Amino acid sequence: MYPRAEKRFVLTNRITIIVLFLVIAAGGIVRSTGSGMGCPDWPKCFNRIIPPTDVSQLPEGYEQQYIDGRAKKNQRFAKIVEFFGHPEMADKIRHDQSILAHEEFNAAKTWTEYVNRLVGVAAGFCLLFSAIFSFTYLKTKPSIVVWSVLNVFVVVLQAWLGSIVVSTNLMPWIITVHMLLALLIVAISIYTFYQATTLRNKTILSNQHVKGIKALAFVSLVLMVVQVVFGTEVRETIDHLSSQLIARQEWVANLGDSFSVHRVLAYVSLGLTVILFFLVRSRFSSLTLQSKYAWIVIVLIGIQMLSGIVLARFNVPAFAQTTHLVVASLLFGAQYYLMLLMTKLQR
What does the pLDDT look like over 63-98, one tens digit per residue?
A: 777 777 777 777 887 888 787 777 877 787 787 777
Q: What are phi and psi of 260, to 5 degrees?
A: -60, -45
Domain map (residue ranges) of the chain: 1-200, 204-347
What does the pLDDT look like over 252-274, one tens digit per residue?
A: 888 888 888 999 999 999 999 99
Cα–Cα distance, 247 to 220 (Å, whole number)? 35
Quick one: CATH architecture of 204-347?
Answer: Up-down Bundle (1.20)
Would you say residue 245 has pLDDT above 90? no
What pLDDT score was predicted for residue 345? 62
What does the pLDDT look like over 223-242, one tens digit per residue?
A: 999 998 888 888 878 877 77
CA–CA distances in Å: residue 295 to residues 42, 84, 144, 339: 41, 43, 28, 14
Is the distance from CB of 155 to CB of 123 less than 8 angstroms? Answer: yes
Share of the chain above pLDDT 70, in %: 95
